[in-house]
Amino acid sequence: MKPFLAVNKEERWNMYDEVKGACVCPSCPSYTACAEKNGESLFCILGMSFHCIRDDRGCICPGCSLYIEYGMTRKDYCMKGSEKDLRWEKGLG
């Protein structure tokens, strides 16, 4: 995920827009109409759903091309927080 760290905020937003299309969250059973209406996705990078996803009906992140490309290790990002946050939390324990 380091490619997302070494750039300024405008470049980051552009990178998010570029990769968002590869996010398979909209095909996930846990994804909701509320999340779709609010344009929520890319939870592994942007963090948990603001208020649209609360019911865990499974997570298909491990099958996403970005998951593999960026070396992600967790899942359920929409309900638990970003990969970065989850790694940081584990480090606290």
Residues of this chain that interact with ligand SF4 (CB under 6 A) are: 23-25, 28, 30-31, 41-44, 53, 59-61, 64, 66-67, 72, 75-78
The 3-state DSSP composition of the chain as helix, strand, coil percent (nearest 5) reads 55, 0, 45
Q: How far is the CB of 1 from ligand SF4 (least distance, A)?
A: 10
Our CB check for ligand SF4 shows the closer of 11 and 73 to be 73
Q: How far is the CB of 84 from ligand SF4 (least distance, A)?
A: 12
Residue type, 10: E
